[in-house]
Amino acid sequence: MIIRRAKIDDIEGIEKLLYQVHDVHVQIRPDLFKKGYKKYNTSELISIINNDETPIYVAVEDEILGYIFCVYKQTKGESLQPIKSLYIDDFCVLDTVRNKHIGTKLYEYVVDIAKNNDCYNITLNVWEGNDSALNFYRKLGLKTQRTFLEQKLK
């Protein structure tokens, strides 16, 4: 297995995983996510892949085994420290190869990239109810930075 930056030729494999992760979100929050969709369309993926501020990293063997979508962010405002962060926008490992440390290797790869790009931290969001993802992230050493709450009105 190799880990590398995604290329346009990887889009088909990435889209397969995008559907997979979207299905998890549909199961957790069908009130918010529509069945049968994915987060990004093909033209959006092309733009993301071609942008150095939004790199995607893939684990590849004979196919795409996993990906991490990244976004470089910089804090703004007089009251905030000037911090550069690497935000993980999406993270998925093919369900048939889970528990083979592919996700851990992908994450460690991205940690090295963030360090080499002078990032202060790595951040990500996890949907409430996605306990397996939350447990995985905690095992990697991530800790809660803040909590995003909601009150449903309908």
Q: Which two tokens stand for residue 78?
A: 């007089």
Q: What angle do CA 123, 113, 138 make, to 5 degrees?
A: 35
- The closest alpha carbon to 24, from 99, 134, 113, belongs to 134
- pLDDT tens for each residue of 32-71: 999 999 999 999 999 999 999 999 999 999 999 999 999 9
The domain locations on the chain are 2-140
Q: What is the pLDDT of residues 76-115, one digit of tens each?
A: 889 999 999 999 999 999 999 988 999 999 999 999 999 9
Structure tokens that stand for 149 in this block: 């709450």
Q: How far apart, in whole angstroms, are the C-alpha atoms of residue 77 and residue 67?
A: 32
Cα gap 68→81, rounded to integer Å: 26
What's the burial of 35, exposed, middle or buried (CB within 10 Å: 0-12/13-18/19+)? exposed
Burial tier of 111 (Cβ tally within 10 Å: 0-12, 13-18, 19+):
middle
pLDDT at 28: 96
Architecture of domain 2-140 in this structure = 3-Layer(aba) Sandwich (3.40)
